[in-house]
Amino acid sequence: MIYASQSLGDLWAWALNQFAVFCGWLGIPEVIRYTVEKGAYAVGLLVFISLTALVLIYMERKVSAHMQLRYGPMWTGGWHGWSQTIADMIKLLLKEDVIPDKADRWVHRIAPIVIFVPSLVGFLVIPFDKYLIGADLNVGILIIFGFSSIAVLSIFMGGWASNNKYTLLGGLRSAAQMISYELPLVLSVLGVVMTVGSLKMSDIVMAQKDVWFLFTPNFLGFIIYIIAGTAEVNRTPFDIPEAESELVSGYNTEYSGLKYGFFMLSEFTNTFIISAIAATFFMGGWNGPSWLPGIVSFLAKTYLIVFLLMWFRWTFPRFRVDRLMDFGWKFLLPLSFFNILMIAVWILVTK
Chain residues in the site for other proteins (CB under 8 A): 63-71, 74, 165-166, 169, 173, 236-237, 239-240, 243-248, 311-312, 314-323
In the complex with other proteins, the residue whose CB is nearer, 19 or 316, is: 316
**Residue 107 beta carbon to other proteins: minimum distance, rounded to whole angstroms:** 20
Max Cα-Cα span within the chain: 64
In the complex with other proteins, the residue whose CB is nearer, 187 or 240, is: 240
In the complex with other proteins, the residue whose CB is nearer, 63 or 92, is: 63
Cα separation, 94 vs 112, whole angstroms:
17
How many beta carbons lie within 10 A of that of residue 18, not counting itself?
Answer: 10
**Residue 236 beta carbon to other proteins: minimum distance, rounded to whole angstroms:** 6
- The single-letter code of the amino acid at 223 is I
Q: Quick check: helix, strand or coil at residue 241?
A: coil
Helix (H) or strand (E) holding 36: helix 30-67
**Residue 58 beta carbon to other proteins: minimum distance, rounded to whole angstroms:** 16
**Residue 289 beta carbon to other proteins: minimum distance, rounded to whole angstroms:** 25
In the complex with other proteins, the residue whose CB is nearer, 289 or 317, is: 317
Alpha carbon separation from 44 to 38, 126, 193, 251 (Å, rounded) = 10, 14, 29, 31
Cα separation, 92 vs 329, whole angstroms:
38
In the complex with other proteins, the residue whose CB is nearer, 91 or 165, is: 165
Q: Omega before 237 cis (within 30°)?
A: yes
In the complex with other proteins, the residue whose CB is nearer, 89 or 240, is: 240
In the complex with other proteins, the residue whose CB is nearer, 183 or 335, is: 335
At residue 132, what are phi and psi to the nearest 5 degrees? -95, 75
**Residue 316 beta carbon to other proteins: minimum distance, rounded to whole angstroms:** 6
**Residue 192 beta carbon to other proteins: minimum distance, rounded to whole angstroms:** 22
**Residue 54 beta carbon to other proteins: minimum distance, rounded to whole angstroms:** 22
- The single-letter code of the amino acid at 301 is K
With contact defined as beta carbons under 8 Å apart, do 182 and 122 qualify?
A: no
With contact defined as beta carbons under 8 Å apart, do 306 and 315 qualify?
A: no
Beta strands in the chain (DSSP E): none
Cα separation, 122 vs 270, whole angstroms:
8
Alpha carbon separation from 152 to 22, 93, 326 (Å, rounded) = 45, 25, 19
In the complex with other proteins, the residue whose CB is nearer, 97 or 244, is: 244
**Residue 79 beta carbon to other proteins: minimum distance, rounded to whole angstroms:** 14
**Residue 72 beta carbon to other proteins: minimum distance, rounded to whole angstroms:** 9
In the complex with other proteins, the residue whose CB is nearer, 101 or 322, is: 322
**Residue 305 beta carbon to other proteins: minimum distance, rounded to whole angstroms:** 14
Alpha helices in 68-164 (DSSP H): 84-94, 105-124, 140-148, 150-161
At residue 205, what are phi and psi to the nearest 5 degrees? -65, -45
In the complex with other proteins, the residue whose CB is nearer, 144 or 247, is: 247
CA geometry: angle 7, 191, 154, nearest 5 deg: 80
CA geometry: angle 346, 350, 351, nearest 5 deg: 115
